A and B are shown apart, each in its own frame.
Chain A
């Protein structure tokens, strides 16, 4: 099973990690070029525009002269980024002097764009065809609901009644890989990463899922570059507008259906046409993840007596809280629970760390307590950390126990031998017993057999 490392990087990092061939292919799409340009750091943007109409390579040293001394680090970041994305192609001549020039395809497309103006990837449909489009608020609710439903489904919560046609089981398996561990008898359990995943905010979770989706595309016979370019395109669509399904090719149509299950897109069927409506989740896809404005309002109040009050109607929230707290009351718009040692120990044994729980509580603090410093009472955070460190007080060392030594000499020799490898953990010279680290068990046995 592959080890899932959850790192919340952004979409452009994903793009930059594509192989060179794929990247070049990506730049055939004028629209992608624009998206890439937009995503660049400010200084990098400036370099691109300055080099846009220069057809010869520019040496690194002359590029260097454009910046003041204290801008050197920004300069380095910008250039690195450009090279990573293959917007700059770097050549090193015999004198070991580097020169840069813009990626030809990228340059051409961008020049076209400057002259002819930008185009949207596709035009929204006329309002007279699409009769009743959801309002933005409805759309947000839909997206949130769909995403929550997907998450509940993901963690295999038995209580969830499946309301929508769910993602194909094979896709679900893909997503669950790493988050759930399948055991033959006891059904699936959340893994360490799974728990961590649930505590992340929506953008980070979305990004994780999308990354899985992209990295698996090849298995489904979909080119990852195509997929990335389509997803990038999507983020340039307007939230709440309807786009005709006719404009999509076969692969994109399948993708749209998958995304609809995640809540990135809402599908609607008219009398003749069918169309898709991107939700906020889709259009925010390329926005930087740390963007605070996209964060939802918090809902959790933690009291000094370890009581926890969550203003939420969401089943998912309830499931998440249950990961580390005892849920005692569920009211129409409030979940009441308490953080107990038992529940925390359960969480710790599932691989959730104290810091993750604390930062979850802090990030989701109800506005009523969010302004307070600290938003989660200090004694609670301290205690959570103390309970965690309590578990780490005992250190385990795999070891082997020897006794029944034929003579004191053999015992002493064995002790000396183990000491030599600094693997003697414990000895009782009276009873002639000793414990050594597992590493030297084989050597020890061999040593003892020689002694006899």
Chain B
């Protein structure tokens, strides 16, 4: 993180010139300190150099009763067994970024971004400091207090409000507005109708939010409830983007919060929709909504909930509160269907008020307000469109949307967001996601493109409450067979390394064993994930299971839907093989077992997303609650070949989940030593023929599946400096990689391995077979 501006702290000069009296001198020495200490929230850094000694902090006499420690570098430790845990958690999640949240002790980081989020949900600098001080076992380090002051002095001070279709720049601090107006761009954008430099003054109601009551003194509480004066000036709607740009941290550093006073919006027509009575938001869903609608207006921002915790209900509820036209963006056609279904499920919206806009279905709603569900691609698409699509997209462009609802915001690259946001005019943006981690660190962009993180749920608390499944995670270590490992180590096979460790016969056997165990012993529904298409097809064919994958020319929506339908309803289809398409958005609520045979390098997000596929809680609530009948009701297996790259990646991948409090159990011998004769590849000859298969397959076939627009993946790819482009025929399925569906139990014929042409055998094996 750079010095000064970018980190959200004002530079020294500007600081002492504008800011009141808090210890300008202190900043001289502190500044250097910040630059060193802040910004590396990545604690994978090694060496003892990271050790920090804060033993000099003064313990308060009653420290046992207080739940947290705060360090000068922004790290906060929270005891979860403290009686004040619940309050402290709600408070910390609002002001700090969670680093890890296992059972007994949580760690958080205060960052400029997290404080920005805190300020934007209405917490004030003094409130943050005083509550933090009350909760802390020690006296707050001076550095931290200064840091909070420095970070919050600018953030959240200015709001952009769209009121009766006038854009108003609003702030309770007239001096801040004056400062903004001293900027040329902004002053030119101003529409001044009063003729003088005075600001319009209105009254706005303070936060209706009693969360921290017990922690605040009565005086502070009274101050919060008091009506506040808001000063504002109006700007030219055409200049809004420019003004926003000028306010970003790299310019004036007063990032604007966007709020939508939807109740007073009389210009845009109302949409008749209410939540159905049976749609009962859960406590954490309520909480996230209350952050969004805390002051009676709708704030833009991101809500982070684990998969299966009911993100769609939050989205639909938000739309129902705003009651204006809503544009809902999803990542692919399957999830468009699912979102449309969710809207109909939870709200009483009329069927002709909701429509889907995808390449397959181009519907339009009737009336002057409605809900449109589409994909990011459809909106951002730059090429030529059909006449019909062009009409719809024109409508989308021209409409003033009350809510822009964005699903899975972490997968969509920033430039796509920019495009979508610039194309559509919306009063309020709500981003939904399960995991705010990316390998390319683009997350911070979201803070300014959409808005701050409004709420993030704690996974373990949701598990304890029975809201999401309690998953047993396991890492299965599969030793490489001698022959495969020898090939793996050869230099000439460097491009086949992945295929070799994925096709490791021991891994195959472990996978087969697990499938049999869960299908036969427990009657579970299983998803097997493989990124490697070669492996996916080999595994699925050998085991006679249906599979779904995408390639650019064969993205048949109908076929996918058909397989998923069979998986959901049929008693004979209990296992489905999925490629990366299944990572997110495809809703498969029935599945409760995941077996991951290959994965994408060290992507923490993918791991979390895949786990998310089985998080939806099943069975009865009381059985799932802590101490209930079933300890674990879902299983996540990650199969890794030992001594290969996979081991290294798997550690990295698990980091996010481990930080959420999940633990991976290592299983070293699967199938159990005394069994396994009935599994495939029991005999050496079979293993060797598999090996020759792998070695003979073209490099293009062994590659990864690349989904478009997944920059996160590309960031990972770059690290490996290899991007596979398949040949045309391979992609079109002409190489026999078509989608097949098998019924389990159906034997013979189709899936059997093709007779081998001995001439094609790898030299190594020739002599063994002759």
Contacts and interface: CB of A to CB of B under 8 A. Distances in A.
Contacts of A328: 43, 50-52
A326 B57 CA distance: 21
Interface stretch (A37-45, A297-305, A350-358, A430-438): A297-305
B55 A304 contact: no
B665 A368 contact: no
B663 interface: yes
Nearest to B73: A329
Interface in B89-118: 100, 102-105, 107
A383 interface: yes
Interface stretch (B166-174, B189-197, B654-662): B654-662
A368 B80 CA distance: 11
A377 interface: yes
Given A305-B661, A309-B105, A342-B46, A386 B668 contact: yes
A270 interface: no
Contacts of B123: none
B665 A378 contact: yes
Interface string A284-326: 0000000000000000010111110100010000000000001
Interface string A360-376: 00000000110000000
Interface stretch (A234-242, A330-338, A418-426): A330-338
A378 B51 CA distance: 27
A327 B57 CA distance: 18
Nearest to A327: B51
A359 B525 CA distance: 40
A304 B51 contact: no
A330 B104 contact: no
Interface residues of A, number: 28
A301 B662 CA distance: 16
Nearest to A326: B48
Contacts of B179: none
Nearest to A322: B48
Given A328-B52, A368-B81, A379 B659 contact: no
Contacts of B71: 329, 331
B138 A332 contact: yes
A332 B141 CA distance: 12
A334 B658 contact: no
Interface residues of B, number: 36
A394 B735 CA distance: 44
Given A307-B100, A329-B71, A330-B54, A382 B48 contact: no
Given A331-B54, A333-B59, A334-B69, A304 B103 contact: yes
A326 B104 CA distance: 19
B199 interface: no
A377 B100 contact: no
Given A303-B103, A379-B666, A331 B138 contact: yes
The listed residue with most B CB atoms (<10 A of its CB), out of A305, A329, A336, A386, is: A305
Interface string B24-51: 0000000000000000000100101011
B666 A303 contact: no
A325 to B, nearest CB: 11
Given A330-B54, A332-B57, A301 B104 contact: yes
Contacts of B77: 309, 329, 331, 334, 336
B661 A304 contact: yes
B739 interface: no
A329 B81 contact: no
Nearest to A309: B105
A309 B104 contact: yes
Nearest to B103: A303
B48 A327 contact: yes
Interface string A377-389: 1111011001000
Contacts of A379: 663-666
Interface in B115-135: none
A332 B63 CA distance: 11
Contacts of A307: 100, 102, 105, 107
A328 B45 CA distance: 11
Nearest to A382: B666
Contacts of A368: 81, 104
B55 A331 contact: yes
A329 B137 CA distance: 15
A34 to B, nearest CB: 44
B75 interface: yes
B63 A304 contact: no
B666 A329 contact: no
Nearest to A334: B69
Nearest to A301: B104
A207 to B, nearest CB: 32
B21 interface: no
A328 to B, nearest CB: 6
B58 interface: yes
Contacts of A336: 77
Given A328-B52, A342-B46, A368-B104, A304 B662 contact: yes
A407 B81 CA distance: 77
Contact of A305 (B56, B57, B659): B659
A403 to B, nearest CB: 23
B53 interface: yes
Nearest to A302: B104
Nearest to B660: A305
A321 to B, nearest CB: 11
Nearest to A342: B46
A273 B644 CA distance: 74
A304 B664 CA distance: 8
Contacts of A378: 663, 665
Contacts of B58: 332
A386 B666 CA distance: 9
Nearest to B657: A305
B221 to A, nearest CB: 31
B54 A332 contact: yes
Given A329-B75, A331-B138, A305 B100 contact: yes
Contacts of B57: 331-332
Contacts of B664: 379
Interface string B272-297: 00000000000000000000000000
Contacts of A326: 46, 48, 50-51
A193 B34 CA distance: 44
Given A328-B51, A333-B63, A379-B666, A304 B105 contact: no
The listed residue with most B CB atoms (<10 A of its CB), out of A328, A332, A386, is: A332
Closest 8 CB pairs of A and B: A304-B663, A303-B102, A379-B663, A305-B658, A330-B53, A332-B59, A331-B69, A330-B55
Given A301-B105, A305-B659, 14 more contacts: A304-B102, A304-B658, A313-B55, A327-B48, A328-B51, A330-B51, A330-B54, A330-B55, A331-B57, A332-B138, A333-B59, A368-B81, A369-B104, A377-B663
9 contacts: A303-B104, A305-B658, A327-B51, A328-B51, A328-B52, A331-B54, A331-B55, A368-B81, A379-B665
Interface of A: 301, 303-307, 309, 313, 326-334, 336, 342, 368-369, 377-380, 382-383, 386
Interface of B: 43, 46, 48, 50-59, 63, 69, 71, 75, 77, 81, 100, 102-105, 107, 137-138, 658-659, 661-666, 668
